[in-house]
């Protein structure tokens, strides 16, 4: 392999051809694939943001998506729960199959999909409501928790269940100890790190199977980031976590497998985290990891 010192160019498939790339992104692992993605292409207008991505995400582990800014990691993540539908200029082709069920077809129940595949955003976005209401929001809207006036009058309310749910989720998100005595306070009054953990707790409240995280700690200070990283490790025991991060060290620390996206929306390499970081197949990935660009 020739050593190059120039920056890789954009848009073209690059120095790797299709077959090589397929070989580098074919990750064999034990166990079930929670989500299978096949030939996913995303266009924003004329901009080809994601090029033919195929990958299988193993269940109950942490999969990290890394790469320089603007190479399609977040776009890819948002395809997994169809949040890209919100963008009018977006056109999506390909197949995404959580549990083997295609979600890019007619008649898909988006409500059900997003119950199963939850999302935590880059900037914490708690609702301007109390901590308790933030967590109870999801189940309430799904009709699983009724604590309204009417239900209380008819003695059909689920207040006890709600309290149980709130405590469970806050404990799972490692936030209970800090806020258990002020559950009625407005969530906007919490610190940034606490707000993000609240968003994670909120995500857990609907009992998802997959948790998508879009750079969850990028807006936080190092201490809060460390807490989030510990949390992610715990979450992976029960949930399938897919996390986008621009912090390579973070990916190396917490993930089981890593997918590397490079400029132009290409998935260049995907495999076991240790192997990808210590001995990457692709030159470009090696350049990126060793900091030659990005």
Partner 1 sequence: MADARIRSSQLVDETTTEADAVAALTIGVSAALFALAVAAMFDQVSLTGTIAGAQTVTLLGGLLTLLGLTVIALGAGSRLGYVESTPDPSAGLVAGVGAAFPWALLGGSVASGVLGLGTGGGLVGAVVVGGVALVATVIPREDVGSTVPLGGLLLITGLVFATGVIGPAWVWELGWEQTAAISAQFLIPVATLSTTLYGGWAAAKAYGGFGARGRHMGAYVLVYLNAISIVAFLFILVAFVVIQGVPGLLTGFEIGIGAGPEISLLGVSVTLPVSIPFVMNGVALLNEFQGVLPAIVGTFWLVIGAVLLAVPLGVGAAVFLTEYAERGRFTQVVEVATNGLWSTPSIVFGLFGFAFLIPRFGNGKSLLSGMITLGFMLLPLVVITSRESMLSVPDEYRDASAALGVSKWQTIRSVVLPAALPGVVTGVILGVGRIAGETAPILLTMAGGTFVPDTQTVDVIGSFQFISTPPFVANPALLEATSALPYQLFALITAGVGLGSNVSDPNGFRWATALVLLIVVLSFYAIGIVTRYYFRRRLQHT
Partner 2 sequence: MAQVNPSRGDRLVDAVGERVRRARGFVDDTEPAALVVVAIMTVSIVAALVGFLAVSDWTIVPFAVFLLSAAVGWVRYQAETAFTIALMMTVSTILILGLIIVFIFRESIPVVQYESAKVFGVSVPGLRMFVQPNWDAVSPPIRYSMVPMIHGTVMVTLIASAVAAPLGVSAALFLSEIAPATVREVVKPGVEILAGIPSIVYGFIGFTVLSPWASDQFQVTGQGSYLFVGIVVGLMALPTVVSVAEDALSSVPEAMKSGSLAMGTTDWQTMTSITLPAAFSGVSAAVLLGVGRAIGETMAATVMLRGVPRLTEPLVNVFYGQETLTSIIARNYGEADGLQMDALFVAGVILFITVLVISVGAQYIEWRMYKRLGGEV
> Residues in the site for partner 2, rule: CB under 8 A?
81, 83, 86, 88, 110-115, 118-119, 121, 123, 125-128, 137-138, 141-142, 188-189, 199, 202-203, 206
Q: How far is CA 280 from the centre of its chain?
A: 23
Q: Does 116 bind partner 1 (CB under 8 A)?
A: yes
Question: What radius of gyration, in Å, describes the C-alpha atoms of the chain?
Answer: 20
127 binds, among partner 1, partner 2, none (CB under 5 to 8 A by kind): partner 2
C-alpha to C-alpha distance for 262 and 118, rounded to whole angstroms:
25
Angstrom distances, CA of residue 7 to CA of 51, 219, 250, 262, 294? 20, 28, 24, 12, 10
Which C-beta is closer to partner 2: that of 173 or that of 267? 173
The residues that bridge with 269 in the sheet, in sequence order, are 260
Q: Does 160 bind partner 1 (CB under 8 A)?
A: no
Q: Does 82 bind partner 1 (CB under 8 A)?
A: no
Please report the sign of the dihedral spanned by the C-alpha atoms of residue 280, residue 283, residue 289, residue 294. Answer: negative
Q: Which of 22, 32, 85, 93 binds partner 1 (CB under 8 A)?
A: 93
Which C-beta is closer to partner 1: that of 22 or that of 39? 39
Contact 251, 285 (CB under 8 A): no
In angstroms, give the least distance from the CB of 123 to partner 2. 6
Residues 166-205 within binding reach of partner 1 (CB under 8 A): none
- Region from 42-50, 88-96, 160-168, 243-251 binding partner 1, contact rule CB under 8 A: 88-96
In angstroms, give the least distance from the CB of 117 to partner 1. 10
Contact 289, 280 (CB under 8 A): yes
Q: Does 64 bind partner 1 (CB under 8 A)?
A: no
Angstrom distances, CA of residue 14 to CA of 11, 108, 239, 284? 8, 36, 35, 9
Binding site for partner 1 (CB under 8 A): 38-39, 93-95, 97-105, 107-109, 111-113, 116, 141-143, 146, 148-151, 154, 156
């Amino acid at each position: 392999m020739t050593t190059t010192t120039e920056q890789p160019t954009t848009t073209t498939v690059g120095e790797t051809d299709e077959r090589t790339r397929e070989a580098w992104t074919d990750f064999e692992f034990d166990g079930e694939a929670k989500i299978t993605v096949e030939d996913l292409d995303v266009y924003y207008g004329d901009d080809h943001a994601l090029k033919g991505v195929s990958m299988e995400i193993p269940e109950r582990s942490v999969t990290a998506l890394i790469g320089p800014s603007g190479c399609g990691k977040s776009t890819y993540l948002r395809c997994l729960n169809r949040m890209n539908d919100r963008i009018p200029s977006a056109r999506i082709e390909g197949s995404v199959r959580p549990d083997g069920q295609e979600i890019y077809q007619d008649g898909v129940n988006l409500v059900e999909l997003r119950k199963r595949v939850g999302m935590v955003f880059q900037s914490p976005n708690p609702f301007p409501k109390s901590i308790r209401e933030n967590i109870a929001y999801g189940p309430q809207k799904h009709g699983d928790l009724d604590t309204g006036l009417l239900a209380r009058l008819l003695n059909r309310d689920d207040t006890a269940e709600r309290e149980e749910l709130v405590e469970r989720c806050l404990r799972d998100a490692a936030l209970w100890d800090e806020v258990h005595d002020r559950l009625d306070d407005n969530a906007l009054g919490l610190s940034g790190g606490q707000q993000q953990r609240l968003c994670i707790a909120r995500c857990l409240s609907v009992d998802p199977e997959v948790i998508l995280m879009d750079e969850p700690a990028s807006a936080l200070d190092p201490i809060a980031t460390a807490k989030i990283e510990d949390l992610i490790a715990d979450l992976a025991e029960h949930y399938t976590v897919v996390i986008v991060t621009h912090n390579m060290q973070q990916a190396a620390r917490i993930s089981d497998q890593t997918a590397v996206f490079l400029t132009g929306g290409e998935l260049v390499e995907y495999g076991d985290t240790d192997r990808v970081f210590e001995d990457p197949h692709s030159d470009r990935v090696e350049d990126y990891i060793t900091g030659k660009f990005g």
